[in-house]
Amino acid sequence: MSEPIWEPDPATAADTNVGRFMADHGFGSFDDLLARSIEDPAWFWGEAATFLAIPFSTPYEQVLDTSKGIAWATWFTGGKTNLAAACVDRWAQATPDAEAVRWEGEDGEIRVLSYAELARHVDGLAVLLRQRGIGVGDAVGIFLPMLVETVVAAMAVAKLGAIFLPVFSGYGTDAIAVRLEDAGAKALLCADGFYRRGQVVPTLDTALAAVVRVPSVETMVVVPRVAWREDTAFEADESGPCAVLAWPAPTEAGAELLPTVPVDSEHPLFIAYTSGTTGKPKGAVHVHGGFTVKVAEEVAFQFDCRPGDRLFWFADFGWIMGPWEVVGTLANGATLCLFEGAPDFPEPDRLWEFSAAHQVTILGISPTLVRAMMAHGDEQVTRHDLSAVRMLGSTGETWNEGPYRWFGEVVGGGRCPVINISGGTEVGACFLSPHPVQSLTPMTLGGPALGMAVDVFDEHGKPVRGEVGELVCTKPWPGMTRGLWQAPDRYLATYWDRWPDVWVHGDWALIEDGQWYLRGRSDDTIKIAGKRLGPAEVESALVAHGAVVEAAAVGVPHEVKGEALWCYVVLAPTVEATEELRADLVQTVVVALGKSFKPSSVRFVDALPKTRSAKVVRRAIRAAATGADPGDLSSLEDPATLDALRNAR
> Where do the DSSP E strands lie in 86-128?
99-104, 110-114
- Residue 278 — very low, low, confident or very high, per pLDDT cuts 50/70/90? very low
Please tell me whether residue 271 adopts helix, strand or coil conformation: strand
CB-count burial class (<10 Å; 0-12, 13-18, 19+) for 606: exposed
How far CA 392 is from CA of 113, 267, 317, in Å, comes to 24, 33, 20
Given CA atoms 630, 635, 639, 645 in this order, what sign does their dihedral have? negative
Radius of gyration of the chain (CA): 24
CA torsion 396-398-400-406 (nearest 10°) is: 30
Could you give the CA distance from residue 106 to residue 86 in angstroms, rounded to a whole number?
31
Q: Of 274, 265, 273, 350, whose CA–CA distance to 314 is shortest?
A: 350
CB-count burial class (<10 Å; 0-12, 13-18, 19+) for 632: buried
Query: What whole-number percentage of the chain has pLDDT above 90?
Result: 74
Average pLDDT over residues 466-471: 90
pLDDT digits (tens, 9 = 90+) for 196-250: 999 999 999 999 999 999 999 999 999 999 987 777 778 888 888 999 999 999 9
Amino acid identity of 400? N
Given CA atoms 640, 642, 643, 648 in this order, what sign does their dihedral have? positive
Are 426 and 274 in contact, with CB atoms under 8 Å apart?
yes
Are 144 and 189 in contact, with CB atoms under 8 Å apart?
yes
Query: What whole-number percentage of the chain has pLDDT above 70?
Result: 97
Residue 73 has what pLDDT?
A: 98
Q: Within 10 Å of residue 406's Cβ, how many Cβ atoms?
A: 18
How far CA 374 is from CA of 379, 527, 612, in Å, comes to 10, 31, 18
- Residue 397 — very low, low, confident or very high, per pLDDT cuts 50/70/90? confident
pLDDT digits (tens, 9 = 90+) for 25-80: 999 999 999 999 999 999 999 999 999 999 999 999 999 999 999 999 999 999 99
CA neighbours closer than 13 Å in the CB half-sphere of residue 305: 33
Least confident of 98-102, 232-236, 369-373: 232-236
Residue 595 gets which letter from DSSP? G
CA angle 2, 8, 14 (to 5 degrees): 150
CA neighbours closer than 13 Å in the CB half-sphere of residue 243: 13
Are 439 and 4 in contact, with CB atoms under 8 Å apart?
yes
Predicted TM-score (pTM) of this structure: 0.89
Please tell me whether residue 207 adopts helix, strand or coil conformation: helix
pLDDT digits (tens, 9 = 90+) for 418-445: 999 999 899 998 999 999 999 999 998 9
Please tell me whether residue 259 adopts helix, strand or coil conformation: coil
Amino acid identity of 410? V
Average pLDDT over residues 447-464: 96
Are 360 and 384 in contact, with CB atoms under 8 Å apart?
no
Could you give the CA distance from residue 565 to residue 330 in angstroms, rounded to a whole number?
45
Given CA atoms 203, 206, 209, 212 in this order, what sign does their dihedral have? negative
Residue 537 has what pLDDT?
A: 78
CA angle 158, 45, 331 (to 5 degrees): 35
Could you give the CA distance from residue 644 to residue 649 in angstroms, rounded to a whole number?
10
Q: Which residues have C-beta within 8 Å of that of residue 22, sequence separation ≥ 6?
A: 28, 29, 30, 33, 437
Quick one: how far is CA 132 from the chain centroid? 31
Given CA atoms 62, 66, 67, 71 in this order, what sign does their dihedral have? positive
Residue 620 has what pLDDT?
A: 84
Could you give the CA distance from residue 573 to residue 562 in angstroms, rounded to a whole number?
35
Q: Of 439, 434, 429, whose CA–CA distance to 393 is shortest?
A: 434
- Residue 467 — very low, low, confident or very high, per pLDDT cuts 50/70/90? confident
Residue 275 has what pLDDT?
A: 65
Residue 277 has what pLDDT?
A: 45
Spell out the SS3 assignment of 219-238: EEEEECHHHHHCCCCCCCEC
Are 589 and 568 in contact, with CB atoms under 8 Å apart?
no
Residue 532 has what pLDDT?
A: 67
615 or 49, which is more confident: 49
Is the pLDDT at 629 greater than 80, yes or no? Answer: no
CB-count burial class (<10 Å; 0-12, 13-18, 19+) for 103: buried
State yes or no: cis peptide before 557, omega within 30 of 0. Answer: no
CA neighbours closer than 13 Å in the CB half-sphere of residue 22: 21
- Residue 276 — very low, low, confident or very high, per pLDDT cuts 50/70/90? low
Please tell me whether residue 27 adopts helix, strand or coil conformation: coil
Please tell me whether residue 373 adopts helix, strand or coil conformation: helix
Quick one: how far is CA 353 from the chain centroid? 23
Q: Which long-range contacts (CB under 8 A, 24 or more apart) does 4-12 make?
A: 4/439, 4/440, 4/441, 5/405, 5/408, 5/440, 5/441, 5/442, 6/408, 6/414, 6/416, 6/417, 6/418, 6/439, 6/440, 7/439, 8/417, 8/436, 8/437, 8/438, 8/439
Average pLDDT over residues 519-539: 75
Spell out the SS3 assignment of 442-485: CCCCCCECCCCCEEEECCCCCECCCCCEEEEECCCCCCCCCCEC
486's torsion region: left (phi>0), alpha (psi -120 to 50) or beta?
left
* Average pLDDT, rounded, for the chain: 92
> Where do the DSSP E strands lie in 227-386?
243-246, 263-264, 268-274, 282-287, 310-313, 335-339, 362-364
Least confident of 106-110, 407-411, 505-509: 505-509
Residue ranges covered by each domain of the chain: 525-646
341's torsion region: left (phi>0), alpha (psi -120 to 50) or beta?
left
Q: Which one of 3.30.1490.100, 3.30.70.890, 3.90.110.10, 3.30.300.30 gives the CATH number of domain 525-646?
A: 3.30.300.30
